[in-house]
Amino acid sequence: MNSVDFSFCGETLTARPSGALFWASAGTLIVSDLHLGKSERIARRGGALLPPYDTIETLTRLSADIEATRPQTVICLGDSFDDLAAAESMAEDNLHTIARLQAGRRWVWIEGNHDPGPVDLGGEHLAQLTDGALTFRHIAEAATAPGEISGHYHPKARVRHMSRPCFMRDAGRLILPAYGCYAGGLDWTTPVLRGLFEAKAVAYLTGQRVLAVPVPAAA
């Protein structure tokens, strides 16, 4: 099995190789930082011309995760779009894909710091969401009750000369990797990120299979 199950605040969660999180008992799939439209936004602002296939690739992976898990609810933990113009200029095919993925299930867009205002897409638009013992928001809060699940930092682990996006967690906090294929990442030992966690924190490295490793001390 390529995924890894772990216990978090009384719930069993599954870290998937793609960077998606599955909460099987609630039928909920969680992803963070899709950054749809990033290549278009970079080109529009005079940056490097990246291959404009990031949105298609990200939505294709999301389609595969939804097909595999059959969730009743999908939660997107913010920064789903790279900016307002990127959301407004999405190709019709991509909009149709999102509508197809939303059909027949609850879909929650959590607000992020990159996210635009309300856009003409289905689903709920919330600042945060609490479901039982778990609270979903975009940016981790320094002082928060156990059960927080967030994104924003795009954690990335470096082990044996390889670098992979990763989940990071301790007893009360969990941060997801960026799901978008052009999203980049922040080193897991960067003080602003590592300082959010207890000394005994665990990372789940994504890739062909999920690998659980201890998180080292801050750099």
33, part of any domain:
yes
pTM: 0.91
219, part of any domain:
no
The pLDDT of residue 85 is 62
What does the pLDDT average to over 102-117? 88
CATH code: domain of residue 129: 3.60.21
Count how many domains the chain has: 1
What does the pLDDT average to over 197-209? 95
Distances (CA, A) of 55 to 107, 142, 209, 215: 18, 32, 23, 31
How many CA atoms within 13 Å lie on the side-chain side of 179?
A: 36
176, part of any domain:
yes
Phi, psi of 6 (to 5 degrees): -150, 160
**What percentage of the chain exceeds 70 in pLDDT?**
85
Q: Which residue has the higher pLDDT, 174 or 116?
A: 174
Helices within the chain (DSSP H only):
38-44, 54-69, 84-88, 92-102, 191-194
The pLDDT of residue 105 is 97
Ranking 8-12, 82-86, 109-113, 205-209 by mean pLDDT, the lowest is 82-86
Q: What does the pLDDT look like over 110-167, one tens digit per residue?
A: 998 867 666 778 899 999 999 999 999 999 998 899 999 999 999 999 888 788 999 9
Strands 155-159 and 4-8: unpaired
Strands 148-150 and 124-126: unpaired
Mean of the per-residue pLDDT values of the chain = 88
Contact (CB, 8 A) for 22 and 5? no
Q: Which two tokens stand for residue 194?
A: 């590592």
Q: In 3-state terms, what secondary structure has residue 25?
A: helix
Domain enclosing residue 109, as ranges: 4-214
Q: What does the pLDDT look like over 50-69, one tens digit per residue?
A: 445 678 889 999 999 999 99
69, part of any domain:
yes
95, part of any domain:
yes
| 47: pLDDT strictly greater than 60 | no
Q: What does the pLDDT look like over 73-91, one tens digit per residue?
A: 999 999 888 666 666 667 8
175, part of any domain:
yes
160, part of any domain:
yes
73, part of any domain:
yes
